[in-house]
Structure 1
Amino acid sequence: MSNASEWIDRFLAADPEDVGCDEVMAVMHIYVDLRAAGVNPEDRYPGVAAHLAACRGCADDVAGLLEIASDKDFQLRPPSVEG
């Protein structure tokens, strides 16, 4: 299958609610926080859920952030300020 026909097949199979990568990146931290808190983020962000079902890259990013958010031993440290 050529690249063009693969692209067309993916385009035609796309969920019309899919909000795209840019929107997912804009709300990913909220989506992950909701999931980590035990809330179903798909209820609030169905377009993000549709996109994550179709985009492996964004789904991997969310999975990685969720893993970090769920790690009780992980602590973010503020950047050191040298002055």
Structure 2
Amino acid sequence: SGLEDSAEVYAVTVTADYPGVTYPVSVAVTPRRRQSFRPPPGAVLLAQVGAEAPQAVTVEPSGLFTVPAVRIADAAGTRLVIRRR
């Protein structure tokens, strides 16, 4: 459902809903406007996309991180949960 932004977890439902969209859609997600979830550069995070197995993601020197290949199967979207290890 909604956004979760705490010191330990960042979670959001990623959607792709626009005229002519053909599912599934695959996107890379780089969360930018995080308020509480601010792991340090070099930290290794666990990102879970829907029911898939978690994947490791490393925080860049800039403080950003990207979760590649987030699959969105339909207009309902896909839940993305990122946790500190």
TM-score normalised by length of structure 2:
0.25
Question: Looking at both structures, which has the greater relative contact order when contacts are Cα pairs under 8 Å and sequence separation is at least 6?
Answer: 2
Higher strand share: 2
TM-score normalised by length of structure 1:
0.26
